[in-house]
Amino acid sequence: MPVQTQMSSFAKKLGGRVAAANAEHKDKPVDLGMMRLPPGIRNGVAKIVTMTTKEYPDDKNGPGTKGQIFFRAAAVVISPEEHAGQKVVGLQTSQVISLCDVPAKGQRKAKSFNDNWYEFQNLFKLLGIAPPNETQQTDPTGQKTEAFYFAAMKSLTDPHRPPVYVAFSTRGWTPPPSAIQPKPEEMVFETWHGLAELNGTVPFNPGASVAEVAANQQPDPFTEPPMGLVEFPPRESTEDIATVVALLVETAMNDPEEVTEEEAAEASARLEELAWAAGWSKEQTAEATDWARVGFMALNAPTVPNENPIISVGSKWKFAKRTKDGIKLKDSQGQDFPAQGVEVTSVDAESRTCTVKAIKDGKTVIDIRSKKPTVVKFEWLE
């Protein structure tokens, strides 16, 4: 006898909310989530874009770590373009190192500040920067040593100097099952291996001027340049576009935390503009889960692009009335008005707009206020 299954009815409990939720979300784009690097990358090359020191905002990293300092470096992947069927160019690889004592947590062992400092110092050695000669006797406050490494961060990420490339790899590891995680997911670890060449270009050595800079000033921790100083490069420069998008994403997400609200807002607006230029609609960017997703849109055209639809007089489509900004109009209950069948009556190819009439009654779709035919953008047609 075949196995019988009993399905529990959620409609009995939720009633009309089921259909309402279905209608609200059915036309939204698929959420691809935060794009992460896959395991198994070897001989990868990435361009260093940010280095920051920040405070832990809470104790999630272990009791007593709130308010303690950690270091983060990020680089944008230049090569390979894809791995295991996933596009990886433009994604980020990063290194995070605690600059404090870290207590044991779960299966993780406790780690002292000295152990963490070794990793921090070693990362800079990999990138061609020898440590300063300061000791506790010559630098009892630690300010000289700090100034040196802040200068190193600035040198490695200076947009006015040749870019610094780092070699990296990724590997996967799945922890053993436990009572808390009976089906653990694979974790991906990223390792940086030192300076890298790109297309035979000799890597820039950022260590040459660090000591001089550190000796003459004590710069603040490096943060991204103000958005007004970031010039958007030519479209064919894929590497530089990826770098700019990475900077915009971090700024829009208020990371690092020193970013002002004005800078974050400007970065968000520029990300949307880049995504629209890549072929995404305003509605699609508005529905993105976070600014990292909008950054992905800026670097990747839609998988089913609508930038070149064959729209001609007499062609039939569906159209949902919208505001002048492209947002669908909603009814009194906050639901989008459903799209209706329309026929194109005129086309302006230069502005990529058209006018339409309803198939149901043959009447021209007009703007309620102006009483003139509604100007419909190509991307609004479904």
Residue that is written with structure tokens 């300076």 in the block = 195
**What are residue 102's DSSP bridge partners?**
111
State pLDDT tens for residues 358-375: 888 888 888 877 788 888
**What are residue 191's DSSP bridge partners?**
169
pLDDT at 31 over 60: no
pLDDT at 234 over 50: no
The C-alpha atoms of residue 64 and residue 84 are separated, in whole angstroms, by 40
State pLDDT tens for residues 79-138: 898 888 888 888 888 898 999 998 887 667 888 999 999 999 999 998 888 888 888 899
State pLDDT tens for residues 152-193: 888 888 877 788 899 999 998 877 776 666 777 787 888 999
Q: Which helix (H) or strand (E) holds 245?
A: helix 238-252
The C-alpha atoms of residue 352 and residue 208 are separated, in whole angstroms, by 53
The tokens describing 91, both together, are: 């994604």
Residue that is written with structure tokens 């040593």 in the block = 145
What are the DSSP calls for 81-141, one per residue? SEETTEE-TT-EEEEEEESS-B--BTTBPPB-HHHHHHHHHHHHHHTT-PPP---TTT-TT
Chain Cα centroid distance, residue 189 = 19
What the chain holds in terms of domains, given with CATH numbers, is 44-299 (no CATH), 316-380 (2.30.30)
